[in-house]
Chain A
Amino acid sequence: MAESVITDALRALIGVDTDERVAEVTTTGCRLFARAVGHTDLVYYDEGAARARGYRSVIAPPGYLGTPIYAPGAADTPAVPGPPNSPYPRILNGGTTYEYFDTLVAGDVVTSRRRITGFQEREGSIGPMLLTTSETTFTRQDGTVVAKMYATAINY
């Protein structure tokens, strides 16, 4: 059996909070995301329609957890959170699951923190693979955890 690519250095990353990011849920962001998806419900576009349903402003469509705040030189948010110094160069998004505890509304600011929850090695049709599972917690400005995301990154 070949030597494991899951080194002590990788194993040491499990359970450590990392990659803190701040994202803004904005009216423009909600509309742009909703338009990209093709939503037709005005609750994602029109503040009057949202207020009529009891919301402070337009609401975030499913899957939208804000637009990361950008500053020159900052790295973009990776859609596929893999490990640093992966033994395999290529990466695929294996899947994501969102768990929601509250509805995000334009004006909210969300801080996300990611922690790696485990590594697995597999032999697939594309060769040897390293699976990285992670859990990202999204906390609103009032301290409420509004969502969690469970993701699997596949390096091969």
Chain B
Amino acid sequence: MADQIYFEDVHEGLELPALIKTPAPADLVMFAGAVGDFAPVSYDLPYAHEVGLDNIVIQGGLKTAYLGQLLHDWMGPQGVIRRLGCQYRGMDYPNRPLTCRGVVTRTYESDGQALVDLEVWTENAEGFRTSPGSATVALPRRG
């Protein structure tokens, strides 16, 4: 986890340090248990084959959560996620690198809060953005 980022340190176009995830099937099982969603397509390989997939697929919610980690680890402990969302445009599979990236699109104040809008996404090994999305975070100020 990085040091604290302050609002004054951030500008439009700033790129976040990439976060690379290579989930194991066990991670998908843990996620299923935590959220109580046991759709077999994310842990039952014979079932995945039956429905025409080559492999079990990473839950969309887990990919959104990866983008949450991208933001949290970049901001530091005092940063707060106000909004985070993405579309699911492509399937991703375990044991392959999935890169989470973000770039600042706007910095502004609203109701006394120092806010930052970002474009965030997951990218597969081929460079395709499987989960394009956006976020708004609140950052502390210096001094």
Instruction: Report A's interface with B, CB cutoff 8 A.
Output: 23, 29, 32-33, 35-41, 43, 53, 61-64, 67-68, 70, 76-80, 92-100, 103, 150, 152
Contact = CB atoms under 8 A, between A and B. Distances in A.
B85 A150 contact: yes
Given A77-B37, A78-B37, 17 more contacts: A32-B33, A33-B30, A33-B65, A36-B34, A36-B65, A38-B69, A40-B1, A62-B67, A67-B34, A67-B35, A79-B61, A95-B85, A99-B82, A100-B80, A100-B81, A100-B83, A152-B87
A33 B81 contact: no
A38 B36 contact: no
B60 interface: yes
Contacts of A100: 80-84
Size bracket of the B interface: 35 or more
A94 B88 contact: yes
Nearest to A43: B77
Given A36-B27, A62-B69, A96 B85 contact: yes
A85 to B, nearest CB: 20
Contacts of A61: 65, 68-69, 72
A94 B59 contact: no
Contact of A62 (B21, B33, B65): B65
A62 B71 contact: yes
21 contacts: A23-B36, A32-B30, A33-B31, A33-B65, A36-B30, A37-B27, A37-B31, A37-B62, A37-B66, A39-B69, A41-B1, A41-B73, A67-B35, A77-B35, A79-B61, A80-B60, A95-B60, A95-B85, A95-B87, A96-B64, A99-B82
Contact of B36 (A70, A97, A99): A70
A40 B21 CA distance: 13
A98 B64 contact: yes
A23 B34 CA distance: 11
A38 B30 CA distance: 11
B86 interface: yes
A96 B88 CA distance: 8
Smallest CB-CB A-B distances: 8 pairs: A97-B85, A62-B68, A95-B87, A36-B30, A63-B65, A36-B31, A33-B34, A68-B36
Contacts of B72: 39, 41, 61-62
Contacts of A67: 33-36
Contacts of B71: 62
Given A61-B65, A63-B61, A79-B61, A33 B35 contact: yes
